[in-house]
Structures are given as structure tokens and as C-alpha cells.
Amino acid sequence: RKEVEQDPGPFNVPEGATVAFNCTYSNSASQSFFWYRQDCRKEPKLLMSVYSSGNEDGRFTAQLNRASQYMSLLIRDSKLSDSATYLCVVNLSNDYKLSFGAGTTVTVRA
Amino acid sequence: DAGVTQSPTHLIKTRGQQVTLRCSPKSGHDTVSWYQQALGQGPQFIFQYYEEEERQRGNFPDRFSGHQFPNYSSELNVNALLLGDSALYLCASSRRGVDEQFFGPGTRLTVL
């Protein structure tokens, strides 16, 4: 089993739609969780940290389910500029290493 | 406020050669991590440097080595290059005790 697994997509949605996708991770004791976005041939950029109670940042909502070792990201009112690959990131062993999923590709069309 | 910078942007080498990649962390950051990202994959952790010491290492062979300087900048060295070393090499900086890491634009290495 991969340490961090994501549905690769692609998710192809119209502008204004809501899109959601998931990630599972292998260590139930993990404490730190993030979503990064990566545009084509660019570096990953931190989108948001994910907290146990779930959190929102504008149109983005992250949820965490520790019991199921599962996290999700929801994007409301999608914009063309939301087209990117979204990387699920976990500090699996609570050390210094971040473990990345392979990414979920989202394309927002006009 | 400068972000994380990396040099060079692109590099082409042949098998067996050696390469050195450079990274300057974001202002106020003292920790540097290196990642390798192959096409279509997420970044894979190579190692992390803090206080000029390698603090943790991922599953990479000894051909991959690094260094951190007193000004917190860092180098990644790869010896005896293989075709499979072709990838985007990303440097990320962070502050001591903080998990959030901020990435530089990367160095795209092609090994022929």
C-alpha cells in the first residue's frame, strides 16, 4: 500500500461547479496534514494546512478523518485559475519528512 | 521578501557525471529539505539539513549527498548520474519546529 494515495483524476468541471477529491494515508498516528497545489512544470505551493476539526479558506474546505485515515479537499465556485494538480501531503511519522501523494488533476473549463 | 531560490534552472548531464544543485532558503528559515519529483509523481524526500547537519534521510543511495552552509543555504550533490536521476529537484525551506515547507522553483535535471 502506498503511504499517501490520491485519486489521480482528472476531474474536469465547468466554472462555478463544486469539486471534491480525497486522499488516504497509511499511519493513523500522523499529526500534520497539508494540501499543496502544483501548476504544470512549477513548484508545489502550500494551499492550506488541515486541522482535525476541518477548516476553510475562502472557497476551499479541507476535512480530516483520523479514524479512517482520510482527508478531503472541496473547491466551491470553481474558477479557471483553480486548474492545477492538488497534492495531498502528510507528515506520516511526525518527524522531518513530508510524504506526498501523486496528485489529483483538476481542470476547470469555461 | 525573497522566497526560496534555486540554481541552475535547467541542467543537462551525461551518465556517470556529477552534478551540484544550489538552494537559498526563504528569509527567516533555517531548515532546508530536498525532494526529487519524477514526471507524474509527487515529490520524494531525499534529506533535510538543519544546523549544517543531515537530520533525516529518505530512501536514496549514497550517491546523493548534501551540505548546508552557515548562512543556511544548501547544496545537493549527485555522483555517478544514472538515466533514472532525470527529474525535477526541489528545495524546500522551513523554520525550526514548523512543519510547513515552502518550495523553490526547482532544477530540472536531464541525464542523457
pLDDT in tens, chain A (110 residues): 789 999 888 999 999 999 999 999 998 888 899 999 999 989 999 999 998 888 999 999 999 999 999 999 999 999 999 999 999 999 988 888 999 999 999 999 99
Q: Is the dihedral of CA A57, A22, A27, A44 positive or negative?
A: negative
Say how far apart CA A75 and CA A60 lie, in whole Å.
5
Q: Report strand pairing: B107-111 vs B10-13.
A: parallel
- pLDDT for residue B68: 98
Contact check, Cβ <8 Å, A98/B101: yes
Q: CB count, 10 Å around CB of A59? A: 13
At A81, is the secondary structure helix, strand, or coil?
A: helix
Task: Give contacts of A95 with chain B, Cβ < 8 Å.
Answer: 56
pLDDT tens-place string over residues B11-53: 999 999 999 999 999 999 999 999 999 999 999 999 999 999 9
Q: Which residue has the higher pLDDT, A32 or B2?
A: A32
Which among B42, B90, B104 has the least Cβ separation from residue A101? B42
Say how far apart CA A84 and CA A104 lie, in whole Å.
8
Instruction: Kindly state the DSSP code that residue A90 receives in the 8-state scheme.
Output: E
Residue of chain B with shortest Cα separation from A87: B42
Q: Is the dihedral of CA A45, B85, A27, B31 positive or negative?
A: negative
A26 forms bridges with which residues in the sheet? none
pLDDT tens-place string over residues B50-69: 999 999 999 999 999 999 99
Contact check, Cβ <8 Å, B42/A100: yes
Which among A42, A46, A96 has the least Cβ separation from residue B105? A42
Which among A87, A96, A99 has the least Cβ separation from residue B48? A96
- Name, in order, each residue with C-beta under 8 angstroms of B26's C-beta and a sequence gap of 6 or more: B1, B2, B3, B4, B93, B102
